[in-house]
A and B are shown apart, each in its own frame.
Chain A
Amino acid sequence: MRTLNLCILRGGPGRPAAYQTYRITVDEHLNILDAVQKVWATQDPTLLFRHACHHASCGLCGVRVNGRERLMCLTPIAEFPDGATVTLEPLRNFPWVGDLVVDVKPLMERMAAIQAPYVRRDELTAGGEEGTRFEDCIECGLCMSACPVVGSDSAYLGPSPLAMIKRLLEEPRGRDIRSLCLLAGDAHGAWRCHSVMECVEVCPSHVDPSQAIGWLRRYLILRGRRQPAEAQRR
């Protein structure tokens, strides 16, 4: 068992923002998400937080743990010494719903605008017939919160949507390449990135948005060189 002080930013629109500390004792093989759920179940039923799968698949439990964007379900209790204070704050750059909950609608709108796919072919296990698997991106929004460009240009498409566009251009499956290129090539698209690299560092799910954005830039440049020829043929 380990006792932690969870210092949680409470409040929301129309409610004053203030840190509230809960002292909670949990098994050390569990994660911060379990500690928060225990606080909610045993100390404060008004605490708002998002969660579903508890194994980094739904992408709901993203918060800032001691300032850094993480999934609570992937933040082991054992990482903190007994009696430590752990600060939990909602993700930045999203509209605040209350306590640890933000409105992820802006991210989902971006994903919807680029018609994000959900399954892809399996290239991880060798040989045999072709399987399919989910995309790496779990749409948790951690990268959107960690990116200073999202924080200063709110029309920026953002790291994970750009990474998703790269996936689609790699494997379009009937999607409109031209509109994807327009989005990626926009002033608020791939060219807006400042290579701050925090998106790569906070991603809990193997996506490398920075590498994807670089890929998009190369793709857009090469496409720009190809296109005049295409136009002439017509």
Chain B
Amino acid sequence: MTLHVVIIGAGSTGAAVAHDLTLRGYRVTVVERGEVACETTGRNHGLLHSGARYVLNDPPAARECAEDNALMRKLMPDILELNGGLFVALNEEDLSYKEAFLEACAQAGVPAEEIPIKEALRLEPNLNPRILAAVKVQDGVFDPFHFTLAFLATAKHHGAAVHTYTEVVDLVWNGRSVSGVKVRDRRDGREYAIGADLVVNAAGPWAGRIGAMAHVHIAVLPVAGTMVAVGRRWVRRVINRLCPPCDGGIIVPQRRNSVVGTTSWPVENPDYIAIPPEQVEAMLAAGEEFIPGFRSAPLRGISAAARPLLHESSQLVTADPGARGVTRGFSCFNHARDGAPGLFSIIGGKTTTSRLMAEVMGDVINEATGITNPCRTREVPLLPYHAFYV
């Protein structure tokens, strides 16, 4: 008998889980209160991480990135702009990290190659000529909406149903276990229940709200990041600052624009994030450090969305107000141990590794259901994103 799984949230995580579970033979329904990828996923940098960004502070995450970066290149070539990336040292302090950085890249299996500064400036003529070192890595660029859509398109063609503008208002219980969701169709206000054998909470920064419906405490810390786009393609590849994760450390070229980001500050309500003007200013200044004249290009939008970072206790937040120290990894929970059998949560992570996150979630679900179908997302290529609509 086919088990029915309802996935709450159509960000990159929910979409990848839908793809993974349909390939394992589950019947999948995705419910999303807005448009696909309309919040956290939609407003991420669109950077297919080489992993190098995390080698210094989170080597396991770096390794995961490197592995899935290589995989996604094969699985969704028409979604990715495989233009590579550079890590550049802008000052002596950055330069002091170089040896450790190269060492850590080698250990984490992240391909990285130091290149002469002259070569870096030939590749990127607009780059600040005063850079002190340059390391070539295998970054890529994608549009997060289309990235997510590709997963959902493939899931749909394997039988998944995707309901957008459908908000979960409550969970449905069968005795003491979760057996579905009660949803409201935001287009007409109609409320109805969707029965399910399992419910996966992939609601990102809102995962806590879904957890609360089952009286499960999920400690998600919504941490916002600001990004600023300018209307000129200053660089052809991703430019990272050679330092541990810092504000304004990355410039991503998107079409004829350049997007600089990001910042990191905890927010109360992820529904609406008012971007402080000084953050826009700080991002433009950061862009100026990489590329003299960066801010002379016209402004092409400013954005911020909350990342769902998982923290074990609230002390972590006060100890590190910017929350840069909180893990970029992800966690999968089977809430049977919290008194809500049938409910699962997947929280945290990065869009780059959403396939891997879904694989782990699928394994957790298989373990709970006793189904042994293995993960197939490493082999099955994704359909073009247009297929979502056809």
Contacts and interface: CB of A to CB of B under 8 A. Distances in A.
B274 A30 contact: yes
Give the interface size bracket for B toward A: 35 or more
B95 to A, nearest CB: 24
A228 to B, nearest CB: 35
Nearest to A116: B386
Interface stretch (A81-89, A119-127, A218-226): A119-127
Given A56-B301, A108-B390, A124 B144 contact: no
A174 interface: no
A127 B125 contact: yes
A177 interface: no
Contact of B123 (A55, A108, A128): A128
Contacts, number: 181
A209 interface: no
Most chain-A CB neighbours within 10 Å: which of B141, B274, B301?
B301
Given A58-B143, A58-B145, A136-B255, A31 B35 contact: no
Interface string B179-218: 0000000111100000000000000000000000000000
A30 B302 contact: yes
A46 B81 contact: no
Contacts of B280: 29
Contacts of B187: 12, 48, 97-98
Given A125-B235, A132-B83, A55 B259 contact: yes
B387 to A, nearest CB: 7
Interface stretch (B36-44, B62-70, B240-248, B358-366): B36-44
Contacts of B80: 119
A129 B300 CA distance: 27
A23 B187 CA distance: 23
Contact of B236 (A38, A46, A53, A125): A125
Contacts of A55: 227-229, 254, 257, 259, 300-303
B361 to A, nearest CB: 23
Contacts of A41: 269, 271-272
A54 B390 contact: no
Interface in A84-125: 97-98, 101, 104-105, 108-109, 111-112, 115-119, 122, 124-125
Contacts of A29: 275, 277, 280, 302
B177 interface: no
B274 A112 contact: no
Contacts of B145: 52-53, 58-60
B256 interface: yes
Contact of A101 (B165, B257, B385): B165
B264 to A, nearest CB: 17
B125 A131 contact: no
Interface string A34-64: 1001101110001010111111111110000
A14 B187 CA distance: 10
B142 to A, nearest CB: 9
Interface of A: 12, 14-15, 26-27, 29-31, 34, 37-38, 40-42, 46, 48, 50-60, 73-74, 97-98, 101, 104-105, 108-109, 111-112, 115-119, 122, 124-129, 131-136, 138, 205-206
Interface of B: 34-38, 41-43, 46, 78-84, 122-126, 141, 143-146, 165, 186-189, 227-229, 233, 235-237, 253-257, 259, 269, 271-272, 274-275, 277, 280, 300-304, 384-390
